[in-house]
Amino acid sequence: MNVYCTKCSHVRDPLYVIKIKTQNGCAVLNRTVQPFIFWGFARVPNKRATFQKLLCDITVLNSDKGDETMNRLEGKLALITGASRGIGRSIALRLAQEGAYVAVHYGKRRNEAEAVVHQIRQSGGNACVIGAVLGTPDGIHDLFTALDDVIREQTDGSGFDILVNNAGIGQVITLEETTEESFDEVMKINVKAPLFVTQQALPRLKDGGRIINISSFVTRAASPSVFCYSMSKGAIDTFTQLLAKQLGPRNITVNAIQPGIINTEMNAGTLQDPQGQKYAAGLSAFNRWGEPEDIADIAAFLASRDSRWVTGQLLDASGGSHL
Ligand SMILES: NC(=O)c1ccc[n+]([C@@H]2O[C@H](COP(=O)([O-])OP(=O)(O)OC[C@H]3O[C@@H](n4cnc5c(N)ncnc54)[C@H](OP(=O)(O)O)[C@@H]3O)[C@@H](O)[C@H]2O)c1
């Protein structure tokens, strides 16, 4: 079930709603607002941001988006890199909700990746974790050794269907501050890793499959404060178009999503600061920053058959920032 705020259209993390529902039930939720707010606050002490999130969920009517988008990915196997948290985590939950079996890749945070798998299973889906530190000599090998096991178990070896190249690092460094080390680091994780992940994925990806790359709106809106990060995402845009051309004959679509400012750890510094919040919200035509779920819904479309005639596209997902 997706829950969304009818005032601001933010899609809400079902985790919070499920916690509320197990305590008192959905009917009570809509009738008695205040006790839920205090209960939520008591259950998550010292987390004002979470409290505010609960407050927003509860003071507006919680609504079910309906089942019309469910199960578009039944029988599909998806690999999502960097799915232990942030945008990747939301994409994993969303594709699983659509019926895909999801390989939840993580770098260092195994516990968080296992929590994602647990949440998927609790919602009736299926998933597993795959650990591999990208940018290391063994990273790609570890990733595909584990994926091959999953492919064998889940598909009798026929291959997988959806690759989401999401894992990445942020880097707030100007041109003047850039060093060879900082340049190599961001290129290693944001460019070299998705390139070699994709190279290894291609023989395993079924014809008619999907590749979704997570780029950024900074390739459109010049942002010198994140100089080499922007260049790394520019490479992803070019990579996306090259791949789309190359893989057309196999009916594999390749697209990139370009998020704006999204509420993840990558932006924790900005979004914990009132000035930063004002800046982030003010960029978008909707006067709010993005939530990971805003990106996950786009990924679900691109992963589904509904997007079969869309390839080589760079989809701005910044809520109309810098229009
Ligand atoms: N947040 C934004 O505003 C925003 C905007 C535009 C584009 N993006 C892009 O969206 C993607 C996801 O961003 P996010 O905000 O969700 O980031 P995040 O919350 O910081 O999560 C990053 C994810 O990538 C994984 N990862 C990072 N380095 C890795 C490595 N060396 N090896 C393996 N896994 C690694 C992390 O795994 P572990 O935690 O397990 O190590 C984690 O799952 C990135 O490509 C980012 O550039 C984000």
Shortest-distance atom of ligand 1 to CA 295 = 10
Residues 39 and 95 in one domain: no
Residues 98 and 54 in one domain: no
What mean pLDDT is predicted for residues 119-142?
A: 97
Among 145, 130, 115, 242, which residue's Cα sits nearest to residue 191? 242
Give the closest residue (by CA) to ligand 1 atom 47.
168
- What are the structure tokens assigned to 61, written together? 């009517």
Give residue 322's Cα distance to chain centre: 22
Output the pLDDT for position 69: 55
178-192, pLDDT tens digit by residue? 999 999 999 999 999
CA angle, residues 56, 59, 61, in degrees to nearest 5: 105
263-307, pLDDT tens digit by residue? 999 999 999 999 999 999 999 999 999 999 999 999 999 999 999
**Which residues surround ligand 1 with Cβ inside 6 Å?**
82-88, 106-109, 133-135, 166-169, 189, 214, 216, 259, 261-262, 264-267
Output the pLDDT for position 64: 41
Q: Is 229 a catalytic residue?
A: yes
Candidates 4, 106, 229, 279; catalytic one: 229
> 30 or 282, which is more confident?
282
**Rounded-to-integer distance, Cα 216 and Cα 165, Å:** 13
pLDDT more than 70, % of the chain: 79
Residues 49 and 137 in one domain: no
Residues 139 and 234 in one domain: yes
- What are the structure tokens assigned to 271, written together? 């979004």
**Rounded-to-integer distance, Cα 157 and Cα 155, Å:** 5
Among 260, 277, 264, 192, which residue's Cα sits nearest to residue 226? 260
pTM for the full predicted model:
0.84
Residues 52 and 189 in one domain: no
In a domain, 322, yes or no: no
Could you tell me the CATH number of the domain that includes residue 301? 3.40.50.720
pLDDT more than 90, % of the chain: 78
Considering only 21-30, 123-132, 261-270, which range has the smallest mean pLDDT?
21-30
Per-residue pLDDT at 107 exceeds 70: yes
**Residue whose pair of structure tokens reads 């924790």 in the numeric block:** 268
Tally of domains within the chain: 2
Domain end (from 62, 91, 108): 62
Q: How far is the CA of 138 from the centre of ligand 1 (A)?
A: 19
Residues 88 and 168 in one domain: yes
Q: How far is the CA of 29 from the centre of ligand 1 (A)?
A: 34
Output the pLDDT for position 34: 31
**Rounded-to-integer distance, Cα 101 and Cα 73, Å:** 9
Most informative mutation of 13, 85, 219, 230 for ligand 1 (most atoms within 8 A of CB): 85
Residues 55 and 131 in one domain: no
Give the closest residue (by CA) to ligand 1 atom 38.
107
Among 249, 230, 244, 257, which residue's Cα sits nearest to residue 80? 257
**Residue whose pair of structure tokens reads 């987390």 in the numeric block:** 47
Burial class (CB within 10 angstroms; exposed 0-12, middle 13-18, buried 19+) of 14: middle
Per-residue pLDDT at 212 exceeds 60: yes
Residues 127 and 248 in one domain: yes
- What are the structure tokens assigned to 4, written together? 């969304």
Most informative mutation of 79, 140, 169 for ligand 1 (most atoms within 8 A of CB): 169
Backbone angles phi, psi at 165, to 5 degrees: -85, 90
Domain end (from 16, 34, 62): 62
Per-residue pLDDT at 57 exceeds 80: no
**Rounded-to-integer distance, Cα 272 and Cα 122, Å:** 31
Most informative mutation of 262, 263, 293, 314 for ligand 1 (most atoms within 8 A of CB): 262
What mean pLDDT is predicted for residues 233-238?
A: 98
- What are the structure tokens assigned to 211, written together? 């590749």
Q: How far is the CA of 167 from the centre of ligand 1 (A)?
A: 4
Q: How many residues does the chain have?
A: 323
Output the pLDDT for position 116: 98
Give the closest residue (by CA) to ligand 1 atom 31.
134
Per-residue pLDDT at 27 exceeds 80: no
In single-letter form, the type of residue at position 113 comes to A
Shortest-distance atom of ligand 1 to CA 190 = 45
**Rounded-to-integer distance, Cα 146 and Cα 129, Å:** 9
35 — pLDDT class (breaks 50, 70, 90): very low
| Distances 108 to 18, 84, 89, 111 between C-alpha atoms, Å | 27, 9, 14, 9
68-91, pLDDT tens digit by residue? 557 999 999 999 999 999 999 999
In a domain, 70, yes or no: no
**Rounded-to-integer distance, Cα 229 and Cα 221, Å:** 13
Q: How far is the CA of 257 from the centre of ligand 1 (A)?
A: 14
Residues 102 and 233 in one domain: yes
Residues 100 and 201 in one domain: yes
**Residue whose pair of structure tokens reads 């990733």 in the numeric block:** 143
* Domain span holding position 34: 3-62
In a domain, 277, yes or no: yes
Output the pLDDT for position 70: 72
| Mean pLDDT rounded to a whole number for the chain | 85
